[in-house]
């Protein structure tokens, strides 16, 4: 049992995870909670180095299992260096993607045997399972269009509410963003399937409404699932 709360954001490309992770962090910080916001792949200096390799659009053809092990390695370091210490200090840890992304990208929509991924998750995540996972759900087409706009924004095309600071990224779509529509449809299906199978942990939030509305629904889920529960 950890002292803090562990909240993860999951969902397809451009669904609004990073936007909402930041909004939730700001709101919880303003309410007086100690908050750590982090992301995967990455989140610790070593894991960020692995992230740069994993998402490199020019990466050589490689084994899907080797890639899954890189994700696992990054996650092990991130948990040890950042997530577990923050939880032990009583922080609310908000993580932008976590193990459900591995299950879906590498397993459900990918080419790694899900049982292998399950075994890796057991070894690496151990007892540090998310207390709450918010699945931000949007049709793949809309998410991809948003991600494309973000890579190549035109000021006229961006509403003020969409001008939200984001983590630095290159000008190229990463290796996952550049996969076809069918892959992204499958991702959506995979995240919804996890939420269906683990309703205790997961809440699906409609990502198509305005950022303010999504943020309200996210906060309502956090309040009802976490802050009203006795531990």
Site for Mg ion, residues 144 to 173, rule: CB under 5 A: none
Tokens, residue 217: 């629904």
| CA-based radius of gyration for the chain | 17
Smallest gap from residue 167 Cβ to ligand ATP (A):
8
Tokens, residue 9: 């954001």
Site for ligand ATP, residues 167 to 226, rule: CB under 6 A: 207, 210-211, 214
Strand 35-39 and strand 92-96: the pairing is: parallel
Q: Which partner in Mg ion, ligand ATP, none is near 19 (CB below 5 to 8 A by kind)? A: ligand ATP
Interatomic CA distance for residues 221 and 206, integer angstroms: 12
Tokens, residue 66: 């080797």
Helix axes 64-78, 114-125, angle to 10 degrees: 20
- The kind and range of the H/E element at 5 are strand 5-10
101 is a contact residue toward Mg ion (CB under 5 A): no
Can you tell me which of 150, 184, 186, 225 binds ligand ATP, judged by CB under 6 A?
A: 150
164 is a contact residue toward ligand ATP (CB under 6 A): yes
Q: Which partner in Mg ion, ligand ATP, none is near 137 (CB below 5 to 8 A by kind)? A: none
Interatomic CA distance for residues 158 and 155, integer angstroms: 5
Distance in Å from the first CA to the final CA of the chain: 9
Smallest gap from residue 135 Cβ to ligand ATP (A):
11
Angle 13-162-190 (CA atoms, 0-180°, nearest 5)? 20
With CB under 5 A, what is the number of residues at the site for Mg ion?
Answer: 1
Q: State which residue, 126 or 210, has the beta carbon closest to ligand ATP.
A: 210
18 is a contact residue toward Mg ion (CB under 5 A): yes
133 is a contact residue toward ligand ATP (CB under 6 A): no
Can you tell me which of 4, 6, 13, 35 binds ligand ATP, judged by CB under 6 A?
A: 13
Residues found near ligand ATP in the complex (CB under 6 A): 11, 13-19, 146-147, 149-150, 162, 164, 166, 207, 210-211, 214
Residues found near Mg ion in the complex (CB under 5 A): 18
């Amino acid at each position: 049992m950890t002292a803090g709360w562990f909240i993860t954001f999951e969902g397809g490309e451009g669904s609004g995870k990073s936007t909402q992770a930041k909004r939730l962090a700001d709101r919880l910080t303003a309410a007086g909670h100690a908050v750590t916001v982090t992301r995967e792949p990455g989140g610790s200096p070593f894991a960020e180095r692995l992230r740069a390799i994993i998402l490199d659009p020019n990466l050589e053809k490689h084994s899907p299992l080797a890639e899954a092990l890189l994700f696992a390695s990054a996650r092990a370091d991130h948990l040890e260096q950042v997530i577990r210490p923050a939880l032990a200090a009583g922080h609310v840890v908000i993580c932008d993607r976590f193990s459900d992304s591995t299950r879906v990208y590498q397993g459900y929509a990918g080419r790694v045997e899900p049982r292998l991924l399950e075994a890796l998750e057991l070894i690496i995540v151990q007892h540090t399972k998310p207390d709450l996972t918010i699945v931000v759900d949007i049709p793949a087409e809309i998410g991809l269009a948003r991600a494309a706009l973000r890579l190549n924004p035109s000021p006229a095309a961006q509403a003020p509410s969409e001008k939200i600071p984001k983590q630095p990224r290159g000008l190229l779509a990463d290796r996952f963003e550049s996969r076809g529509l069918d892959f992204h449809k499958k991702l959506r299906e995979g995240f919804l399937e996890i939420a269906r199978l683990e309703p205790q942990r997961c809440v699906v939030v409609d990502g198509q409404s305005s950022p303010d509305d999504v943020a309200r629904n996210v906060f309502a889920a956090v309040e009802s699932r976490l802050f009203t529960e006795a531990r």
